[in-house]
Amino acid sequence: MKHVALVLVLALAACTNVPIKQKFPEAIPELKEKCPDLKQIEGDKVAITDLLKSVITNYNMYYECSLKNDGWNRWYDEQRKIYESVK
Amino acid sequence: MSQLIWMINLIPDIFWTLLLWAGVLSVIASYLLGKIPFVSQYKIPLRVGGVVAVLIGVYFYGVIANEEKWQARIRELEEQVKVAEAKSADTNTVIKTEVVEKVKVIKERAKTQIEYVDREIVKNNEVIKYVENCPVPKVIIDQINEAAKGVKQ
């Protein structure tokens, strides 16, 4: 029993930990911004031009949000590739 | 266990080399001493001690080699992590710049379009006539607003 204990102690003495921790990078703050709510049309008597302006604003808001979403996907794919390249 | 490893790490590597050679010499000496009268009584302890020293020496030779291998691996990983961090920071900068630039373009375009509506479209005769005679029905506005609300989480 003493011999087994000695062998175990010596065997465990040879164990090694690799003290390296890779951190996943922090996301870009601009990509973390919440998409704004679409613009509502206000007023009882609404002219077609107001409707048009609201549509323009909302379309552009969509494209801005879509761009950020694409940016997120691209950011994640590229950062993941970089993260996994460390082996 | 960590204290034991710490204590073992304090022993210089040369000690294990000396122990191994001392063991080998002891085993050889145990055979030589066996042939010398009156001294032969030490041959068994020398042989046993020598074999034990050889075993411990070889074991710690292995430990040292293993440690060196892992230290090399740590250095390699540290280098890889450093390169990855630099690459990651570059990627962040590239994506951030692209997104910020494109958002700027989109916002500028929206502003230009709305300015164009205020400046040109409202002056268009056909539009003026339409605005005067045909206000957009409230039911249509309500539906557009309803669609714009989306689904709240």
| pLDDT for residue A7 | 59
Nearest to B122 by CA among A47, A56, A43, A49: A49
Q: Which domain holds residue A81?
A: 29-87
Contact B113 A37 (CB under 8 A): no
Q: What is the CA radius of gyration of chain B?
A: 43
For chains A and B, count residue pairs whose Cβ atoms are closer than 8 Å.
Answer: 130
Residue A17, domain member (yes or no): no
Tell me how far apart the alpha carbons of residues B18 and A43 are, in angstroms, rounded to a whole number: 94
User: At residue B63, does pLDDT exceed 80?
Assistant: yes
Residue A46, domain member (yes or no): yes
Provide the residue type at B107 as one letter. K
Residue A77, domain member (yes or no): yes
Contact B66 A74 (CB under 8 A): no
B13-16 long-range CB contacts below 8 Å, 24 or more apart?
B13/B64, B16/B56, B16/B57, B16/B60, B16/B61, B16/B64
User: Can you name the residues that pair with B136 across neighbouring β-strands?
Assistant: A46
Residue A51, domain member (yes or no): yes
Q: For chain A, how many structural domains are there in total?
A: 1
Q: What is the mean pLDDT of residues A47-68?
A: 93
ipTM > 0.85 for the complex: no
User: At residue A65, does pLDDT exceed 90?
Assistant: yes
Q: What is the CA radius of gyration of chain A?
A: 29
User: At residue B82, does pLDDT exceed 80?
Assistant: yes
**Which pTM does this prediction carry?**
0.70
Residue A54, domain member (yes or no): yes
DSSP tag of B41: G
Facing A16 at nearest CB: one of B67, B80, B122: B67
Contact A56 B117 (CB under 8 A): yes
> Higher pLDDT residue, B31 or A17?
B31
Facing B88 at nearest CB: one of A14, A47, A79: A79
| pLDDT for residue B22 | 92
- CB half-sphere exposure, B39, CA atoms < 13 A: 9
Residue A13, domain member (yes or no): no
Query: Residue A32 phi/psi, 5° resolution?
Result: -85, -5
Average pLDDT, chain B: 88
- Sign of CA pseudo-dihedral A87, B2, B8, B11: positive
